[in-house]
Amino acid sequence: MKQLLIKNIKQLVQVEKENQPYIAGAQMAQLPSIDNAYLLIKGAYISAYGPMSELNEAALPADVEVIDATDRLVLPAWCDSHTHLVYPKSRDVEYVDKIKGLSYEEIAARGGGILNSAKLMQTASEDQLFDDAMVRLQEIITWGTGAVEIKSGYGLTLDSELKMLRVIKRLKEASPLTIKSTFLGAHSIPMEYRGQQEKYVDLVINEMLPAVAKEKLADYVDVFCDVGFFTVEDTDRILNAAAKYGLTPKIHANELDYSGGIQVGVKYNALSVDHLEFTGEEEMKALKDSGTMPTILPGAAFFLNMAYAPARQMMAAGLPVALASDFNPGSSPSGNMQLIMAMGSVLYRMLPEEVIHAVTKNTAYAMGVDKELGSICVGKKANVVITKPIPGIEYLPYAYGENKVETTILNGAVS
Ligand code: NIG
Ligand code: FE
């Protein structure tokens, strides 16, 4: 089997002897690392690591491929547990409306926003969607992402939702990234259902969910549970129906108000609840020891000029925190997880160590890949990044405009 040795690593970051599901509270500030280290990869998996002093290079096969990582750090590749990166077109015109002062709800109420993308989706071809998404995937690999969750939700009709999910299925087969797909039929209420949204919820439950399950097109189910979108009752009905198909929730919650979304997500053992700008004591109590990962999406809060989720209070309460990109054309038009790390640190006052856990271990958990990804651990998939020569981990969130990643290795191969 092919072996790849990365040697003379200045710092091998996020090493774990035994895999923990996620990192919470004060532990997030501890980042186990090894200075002057090596990492050995066999096939697609991590087979050994340690200090250079323990490396017996002579014992390796003659054809081992060697990368010299002098002055460079090696970390697990980022896991981006929340994106909408299959979409037909950018929405830069709306962006100007936003700058002029229109709110996210105002744009949505007049048929813009998600409905704008949904209209374009009706006529978009599967091949075009696939090609455009492949370009986006290629780009996020260069920024160091190794795994990504992608949602439907710009279809909002049976056919278009299935079209999006089939595109995600093709992406899973064609891309070296680890990809998970999420069915988000309940992303927005189509115009013709306004005032009778329970009928749209019926459609999601009675037609979309069975078809998605039949074709095995989704790993997870999502609902945008927030003011102006889906109510707690709608969400409860959808998650209850989805559970019958074995679909675990990962939901949009508490972005626009104290919507009750966090609590209903926890009730259905959601893998994650995402956004969380409106999180108070009650919500944190519900999340404590729940197994539901609180996931903050700094790109959307920044772009929409929202209040920021209380990351420090969450960690002080002993909760884990994950950070994902929310890459989408309406509220976060970037999948650059290094930028998300910078935002996590500057806007949410998270330490570099905390930010690194938040985009690796904790997002791996939030997308259900924590057993195979998220840390440097023997037996895990070899999805790692080698940085350019940089001073240390602090430089990762600090130099926010620069690509600090030189090489992304996915499944043991340079991508
Ligand atoms: O996560 N909050 C809801 N949905 C997306 C926005 C999608 C869009 O505006 O196209 C989000 O921010
Ligand atoms: Fe989102």
ipTM value, please give it. Answer: 0.95
Q: Which of 84, 95, 189 to mutate to test the pocket of ligand 1 (most atoms within 8 A of CB)?
A: 84
The alpha carbon of 289 and the centre of ligand 1 are apart by a number of angstroms equal to 28
366, 385, 401 - which closes a domain: 366
Q: Which of 306, 331, 334, 340 to mutate to test the pocket of ligand 1 (most atoms within 8 A of CB)?
A: 331
Is 154 annotated as contributing to ligand binding? Answer: yes
Ligand 1 nearest atom to the CA of residue 275, by list position:
1
Ligand 1 nearest atom to the CA of residue 326, by list position:
1
Nearest CA to ligand 1 atom 8: 330
Cβ 76 vs Cβ 147: under 8 Å: no
- Both 166 and 239 in one domain: the answer is yes
**Average pLDDT for consecutive 10-residue bins of the chain (415 residues)?**
97 96 98 98 98 97 97 98 97 87 81 90 97 98 98 98 98 98 97 95 98 98 96 98 98 96 98 98 98 98 94 98 98 97 98 98 98 98 98 98 98 97
The alpha carbon of 23 and the centre of ligand 1 are apart by a number of angstroms equal to 27
Q: Any idea what the CATH number is for the domain that residue 397 is in?
A: 2.30.40.10
Total number of domains constituting the chain: 2
- Both 144 and 239 in one domain: the answer is yes
- Both 309 and 390 in one domain: the answer is no
Is 326 annotated as contributing to ligand binding? Answer: yes
- Both 242 and 361 in one domain: the answer is yes
Q: Which bound ligand lies closest to the C-alpha atom of 154?
A: 1
Q: Rounded CA gap, 339 and 14, in Å?
A: 20
Q: Which of 86, 114, 256 to mutate to test the pocket of ligand 1 (most atoms within 8 A of CB)?
A: 114
Which residues does ligand 1 sit against, CB inside 6 Å? 84, 113-114, 117, 224, 252, 255, 300, 326, 328-332
The alpha carbon of 274 and the centre of ligand 2 are apart by a number of angstroms equal to 8
What pLDDT score does 200 carry? Answer: 98
Is 187 annotated as contributing to ligand binding? Answer: yes
Nearest to 414 by CA among 149, 49, 67: 67
- Both 174 and 283 in one domain: the answer is yes
Is 170 annotated as contributing to ligand binding? Answer: no
**178-186 and 220-225 beta bridge pairing:** parallel
What pLDDT score does 108 carry? Answer: 76
Q: Rounded CA gap, 388 and 60, in Å?
A: 26
Q: Any idea what the CATH number is for the domain that residue 172 is in?
A: 3.20.20.140
Nearest CA to ligand 1 atom 7: 330
- Both 381 and 357 in one domain: the answer is no
What pLDDT score does 403 carry? Answer: 98
Q: What are phi and psi of 339, to 5 degrees?
A: -65, -40
- Its domain, for residue 300, covers 79-366
Cβ 305 vs Cβ 328: under 8 Å: no
Nearest CA to ligand 1 atom 12: 331
Q: What is the DSSP string of 60-128?
A: S-TT-EEEE-TT-EEEEPEEE--B----SS--HHHHHHHHTT--HHHHHHTT-THHHHHHHHHH--HHH
Q: Which helix (H) or strand (E) holds 174?
A: helix 158-174
- Both 190 and 312 in one domain: the answer is yes
- Both 240 and 342 in one domain: the answer is yes
352's tokens: 């570099």
- Both 73 and 210 in one domain: the answer is no
What pLDDT score does 17 carry? Answer: 93
- Both 209 and 342 in one domain: the answer is yes
- Both 65 and 190 in one domain: the answer is no
Is 305 annotated as contributing to ligand binding? Answer: no
pTM above 0.80, yes or no: yes
